[in-house]
Amino acid sequence: MSTKDGIYYREGIPVPETPVEDGQPKFWEKTDIVGKPIARVDGYERVSGTARYPSDILLPGMLYAAVLRCPHPHARVKSIDTGDAEKLEGVKAIITAESQAVKGVTWKYRDTEVALIDPHCRFEGEVVAAVAADTWYRASDAIKAIKVEYEVLSYVVDHQQAENSSVNVAEEGNLLSDDEYSRGDVQKGFSEADVVLESDYATACELHTPLELHGCVTNWERDRLTVWESSQGVFGAQSRLAESLGMPLSKVRVTGHYMGGGFGSKLWPGKYTVLCALLARKSARPVKLLLSREETFLCVGNRPPNTMYLKAGATKKGRLTALEFDCAGPSGAFSAGGAQLVDWLIRDLYLCDNVSTRSKDLLINAGPARPFRAPGHPQGAWALEQMVDDLAYKIGMDPVEFRLRNIPEQSQARKGIPYTTTGLRLCLEKGAEEFAWQSSLAAVRQFNNANTHIKRGVGVAACLWIVGDGGPPSTVIMKLYRDGSVNLNMGASDIGTGTKTVMAQVAAEELGVHPSVIQIENADTATTQFATPSGGSKTVPTEAPTVRNAAIALKRELLRMAADDLEVGVEGLSYVGDEIVVRQNQSQKVKVTEISGLQKRGEVIGVGYRGPNIKGKVTTPFAAQFCEVEVNLRTGETKILRFLGAHDSGRVLNRATFDNQVYGGIVMGIGFGLTENRQLDGSQTGKLCNKNWHDYKLPTALDVPVRTASLPIEIDDPEANNTGAKGLGEPVTIPTAAALANALFMATGVRFTRAPVMPFDIVDQLSKQQKG
Amino acid sequence: MICLLSYNVSSAAIVCRGKARTIYSAGIKIPFLSQVTVKTIHRCASHCLQGGVMGKKDQEREDFAGVSRRGFMQFVGISAGMIGTSLFSKQAFAVAANPGMSTDMPTDSAIHIALNINESNYNMLVEPRWSLLYVLREIIGMTGSKMGCDRGECGACTVLMDGVPRYSCMTLAVEAQGVEITTVEGLMEGEELGEVQQAFVDNDAFQCGYCTSGQIIAVEGLLRKTADPSDDEIRKGCSGNLCRCGAYQNIFAAAEQAAKAKKG
């Protein structure tokens, strides 16, 4: 079978029409490739070991770098002596605050600009020095040989103490912001309620720790810098680097075709990226700098711990009348959104006329936060979804039913802008049906009556994620080769979500080619087009319509050329399979690959831009998750029997990668709810106690549910964007922990308001309950 | 006998079938090699890892035994990682894998080791403290095995040693002698994927892909020991491999498919 035969998968079947100039592409009513669970286009590379991740890069003469970090939560570097380190075998360059190399080089923690190496270290893990040596081991030796004299300062690492602490993390004090929101009149709302409940909640600090270590390889060719960075966004990394080093963008090239996970911690580069470039320049050699695993627990971001208070009122008919919410959290040592978006679900998820929230962001002497998969939302869900359950029980109503009585059609937090579509009701209804919610309640009751110390429980939680519509800017270029195969050029990183595959499907759908003949170039600031970092669940809704626009632009160009060849007006032409035909006279046609313009030029390109989002409406993904747990009351061990994620993210572009996101998000939520907790030694040293995967516990193969199911709730959303897809990567992990907490309550009778809920917490609470 | 192969731009491997004597290296004269035939070179080349680039150079050379110093230098100049030799001189000796670079390795602490990796033999000088993972990735350039933590907690570095999954970050290179080491590259069948690898692709058993080679090796090791594992045995088999992306469910499905495929 020749390449040509394999390219066109729909012989003689009309390919979606190209719209007239400036028109909107037609909504795909039926798709042939989009939506199918096709295998990843780069699956071969990932399983064969041939995919080159940034940490895999090897260059001639390459050195290895290591960073010396402050071991104290708060200290000032008084003196630094690199004499011994300089004498070590194989050490080629050392940089400290006093080095010429860092003079004038700054770094931005969000809006706070600091010296790249600042003698005032505000957190354990702040940079003090960096070395490059010819082996990784020797770089590590050199770090240990650097003698530093610290003036150890007092610290504060508990955000609840930070506001009134005598220790100032920054000169301006520790309270960064104290924001309020309100609508309606909560006091009136409470007075109208038949039942009012209140509770405190708390969630722990969570660390991203993706499998691939943070790091990069940098190489200079005179004044041109090339960087291979494990990154969620090469263009973001490029601009940060160029800014720090004072270089034009055209002299900084960042590539990151593959990357081993980020979850928000690699949305932008780190001081290590700049240090690596400086070491490379100083030593005149390429340098590989990978953070050690311990360092990734200290200095590349976290989900802040949050303390929350929620008071809620409802009528006995199950309608919410008032929500009052207070939360606080630490940014870490620099402003980074310590309480960011924690209150969003309280503002927007359920119908409620009277809402007031207060959010406090505080500084502490610990690593600055970075956005972590759905910032703020799992924390807010932890409080809200448990409270909603408690209200339901109080009035004797089923928790699913209670939620169904409070479904908004509009974004109340945005003053009533309608959602383009909302699947919240369907997620709850269809999810409950698929999960067999009603019969499960009966089965659980029966099981618990028959058992003494093994109990079961089922739980539900719902959510939305603040953004689902993506948006400009983005540019994609699609190139048709002379033989009809395709090159797709886009800047977006594939962070593991299957972006490349999904985009190939969109291109294949629009062009009528087979995904296997689409060559993809991505994530290279020099050779691919601009894209914003892959995060915020905006990659699919941003890039997929852009890819479609590029394909349409390409087809427009081909239609124009065909019109010349056939000597007819372009309006009279249709794309049909691999040919362009005259609608009125189907025998008058030309094969796409035989269009003279394409043959002469050897290629035709189409440039697609991401257009603006619809005005006056907002696109948001919704979800409901259900779970069943089994708890051993004596040991506190929890076994998760099953989990179901019912997700409204608009059109499913690839069923396999969609489901995989649901499974993965649920695993991450299990970590947030049951196993993960960054622990700082508040009372003695302020240092991080668990900076390894032995003590900071990620869910393993033995912790995940026996069975996880994904139920996509697909609603046609032509207003979302021209593919109808909404973001998915974050909603999948928002309600998970809350659903678990609700199930645990049913199993144990204990309301666990502090996350994570570890076995000893369960046993501890149960014994307290017995005594009390 | 010695055979030189380069399989990627930045490093070259010397595959050694027997005990090598000495070779030339970057300006240092070392006693001569014993018999090497062009045929042997070709046999070694076909055994070696994918992407062998050096084959051509081998073919150009008619008579290896009578190799001119200049011709030989062309090979060695780009390698210098893998040398099986007894040193006769105390002076600093180029052992770094990366071309154009020298690592001063003191002769009293460097150890000559021979590793059998994916059915090929590698001779090299290492520091005693170097892990097998470091040697695989940074010295030989076989980057399929990944470094997730370098402290035996995540399994990204898992290789098979005599068919048993082991963490290569927790294995010293010097300890890894005398066993058959299999990395994810070694599961390939030419350019085609092995059964476990294919099962991973078919079941979308990865997301970012960084834990994937370790997972694949763990499953391969499991299936070599237990041809028909239960669900519990599959979970246990994968329990030494962390997946932060949470792709476990599909990994288990891939293991099931691979078990069936292996039974044929």
CB contact under 8 A, B153 and A692: yes
pLDDT (0 to 100) of residue A770: 83
Segment A675-695 mean pLDDT: 97
- Tens of pLDDT along A620-633? 999 999 999 999 99
What pLDDT tens digit does each residue of chain B (264 aa) get? Answer: 333 333 333 333 333 333 333 332 233 332 333 333 333 333 343 333 333 333 334 343 333 333 333 333 333 333 333 333 333 333 323 334 443 334 555 556 789 999 999 999 999 999 999 999 999 999 999 999 999 999 999 999 999 999 999 999 999 999 999 999 999 999 999 999 999 999 999 999 999 999 999 999 999 999 999 999 999 999 999 999 999 999 999 999 999 999 999 997
pLDDT (0 to 100) of residue B14: 34
Contacts of A295 in chain B (CB under 8 A): none
Nearest to B241 by CA among B163, B165, B136, B154: B154
Residue matched to tokens 């993390």: A169
Q: Which residues contact A193 (CB under 8 A, 6 or more apart)?
A: A313, A314, A315, A321, A322
Single-letter residue type at A304: P
Tokens of A93: 């360059």
Torsion of CA B89, B90, B91, B96, to 10 degrees: 90
CB contact under 8 A, B246 and A664: yes
Q: Which residues pair with B166 in a beta bridge?
A: B159
Segment A552-571 mean pLDDT: 94
Q: What is the pTM of this model?
A: 0.89
- Tens of pLDDT along A145-200? 999 999 999 999 999 999 999 999 999 999 999 999 999 999 999 999 999 999 99
CB contact under 8 A, B10 and A58: yes
Mutate to test the interface with A, among B139, B142, B200, B207 (most CBs of A within 10 A): B207
CB contact under 8 A, B242 and A698: yes
CB contact under 8 A, B103 and A135: yes
CA A350 to chain B, closest CA, distance in angstroms equals 29
Q: Provide the pLDDT confidence category of residue A759 given band limits of 50, 70 and 90.
A: very high
Residue matched to tokens 């890894």: B176
Contacts of A661 in chain B (CB under 8 A): 207
CB contact under 8 A, B249 and A704: yes
Contacts of B204 in chain A (CB under 8 A): 37, 39-40, 43, 498, 656-657, 659-660
Of B104, B216, B242, the CB nearest to A89: B104
pLDDT (0 to 100) of residue A578: 87
Q: How far apart are CA A669 and CA A735, in angstroms?
A: 8
User: Is the pLDDT confidence value at A430 over 70?
Assistant: yes
Count Cβ atoms below 10 Å from residue A253 Cβ, excluding itself. 20
CB contact under 8 A, B211 and A211: yes
Any idea what DSSP says for residue A703?
Answer: T
CA A581 to chain B, closest CA, distance in angstroms equals 38
Confirm if B11 and B56 have CB atoms less than 8 A apart.
no
pLDDT (0 to 100) of residue A25: 84
Q: Please, how many CA atoms are within 13 Å of residue B128, restricted to the half-sphere of its CB?
A: 4
CA A90 to chain B, closest CA, distance in angstroms equals 7
Of B98, B208, B216, the CB nearest to A210: B208
CB contact under 8 A, B148 and A213: yes
CA angle A691, A258, A519 (to 5 degrees): 170
CB contact under 8 A, B149 and A693: yes
pLDDT (0 to 100) of residue A347: 98
DSSP reduced 3-state for B135: helix
CA B92 to chain A, closest CA, distance in angstroms equals 12
Contacts of A706 in chain B (CB under 8 A): 231
- Tens of pLDDT along A701-724? 999 999 999 999 999 999 999 999
Of B98, B146, B185, the CB nearest to A60: B98
CA angle B160, B161, B162 (to 5 degrees): 110
Q: How far apart are CA B246 and CA B253, in angstroms?
A: 14
Q: Provide the pLDDT confidence category of residue A22 given band limits of 50, 70 and 90.
A: low
- Tens of pLDDT along A205-217? 999 999 999 999 9
Contacts of B104 in chain A (CB under 8 A): 89-90
Q: Burial level of A679, CB count in 10 A (0-12/13-18/19+)?
A: middle
The mean pLDDT of chain A is 95
- Tens of pLDDT along A643-676? 999 999 999 999 999 999 999 999 999 999 999 9
Check CB contact of B126 with chain A, cutoff 8 Å: no
- Tens of pLDDT along B19-73? 333 332 233 332 333 333 333 333 343 333 333 333 334 343 333 333 333 333 3
Nearest residue of B to residue A50, measured between CA atoms? B144
pLDDT (0 to 100) of residue B104: 54
CB contact under 8 A, B143 and A52: yes
CA A374 to chain B, closest CA, distance in angstroms equals 15
Count Cβ atoms below 10 Å from residue A213 Cβ, excluding itself. 26
The mean pLDDT of chain B is 72
Check CB contact of B197 with chain A, cutoff 8 Å: yes
Segment A750-759 mean pLDDT: 98
Of A43, A61, A706, the CB nearest to B201: A43
Nearest residue of B to residue A258, measured between CA atoms? B208
CB contact under 8 A, A668 and B246: yes
Q: Which residues pair with A647 in a beta bridge?
A: A623, A712
Segment A4-24 mean pLDDT: 49
Single-letter residue type at A291: L
pLDDT (0 to 100) of residue A680: 98
Tokens of A256: 């990151």
CB contact under 8 A, B106 and A89: yes
pLDDT (0 to 100) of residue B103: 54
Contacts of A666 in chain B (CB under 8 A): 246
User: Is the pLDDT confidence value at A539 over 80?
Assistant: yes
What ipTM, to 2 d.p.? 0.96
pLDDT (0 to 100) of residue B80: 35
CB contact under 8 A, A698 and B101: no
CB contact under 8 A, B154 and A48: no
- Tens of pLDDT along A296-337? 999 999 999 999 999 999 999 999 999 999 999 999 999 999
Contacts of B238 in chain A (CB under 8 A): 701
Contacts of A54 in chain B (CB under 8 A): none
CB contact under 8 A, A134 and B101: yes
Contacts of A260 in chain B (CB under 8 A): 146, 208-210
The dihedrals phi and psi of B54, each to the nearest 5 degrees, come to -75, -20
Segment A21-34 mean pLDDT: 82
Nearest residue of B to residue A695, measured between CA atoms? B153
> Maximum CA pair distance of chain B?
61
Of B101, B106, B231, the CB nearest to A60: B101
Q: How far apart are CA A390 and CA A734, in angstroms?
A: 19
Confirm if A138 and A89 have CB atoms less than 8 A apart.
yes
Q: Which residues contact B132 (CB under 8 A, 6 or more apart)?
A: B115, B159, B168, B169, B171, B172, B173, B175, B176, B181
Q: How far apart are CA A574 and CA A572, in angstroms?
A: 7
CA A254 to chain B, closest CA, distance in angstroms equals 19
Q: How far apart are CA A575 and CA A510, in angstroms?
A: 10
Q: Provide the pLDDT confidence category of residue A354 given band limits of 50, 70 and 90.
A: very high
Mutate to test the interface with A, among B109, B208, B232 (most CBs of A within 10 A): B208
CB contact under 8 A, B137 and A692: no
Check CB contact of B244 with chain A, cutoff 8 Å: yes
Q: Which residues pair with A79 in a beta bridge?
A: A149
CB contact under 8 A, B246 and A699: yes
Q: How far apart are CA A736 and CA A70, in angstroms?
A: 36
- What is the DSSP track for A582-601? ETTEEEEEEEGGG-HHHHHH
Nearest residue of A to residue B213, measured between CA atoms? A47
pLDDT (0 to 100) of residue A772: 63
Mutate to test the interface with B, among A42, A45, A48 (most CBs of B within 10 A): A48
**Beta A127-133 vs A91-96: how paired, if at all?**
antiparallel
- What is the DSSP track for A404-421? HTT--SEEGGGTTEEBS-
Of B8, B193, B238, the CB nearest to A701: B238
Check CB contact of B18 with chain A, cutoff 8 Å: no
Tokens of A155: 């610290």
Burial A471-509 (b: 16+ CB within 10 A, else e): beebbbbbbbbeebbbbbbbbbbbbbbbbbbbbbbbbbb
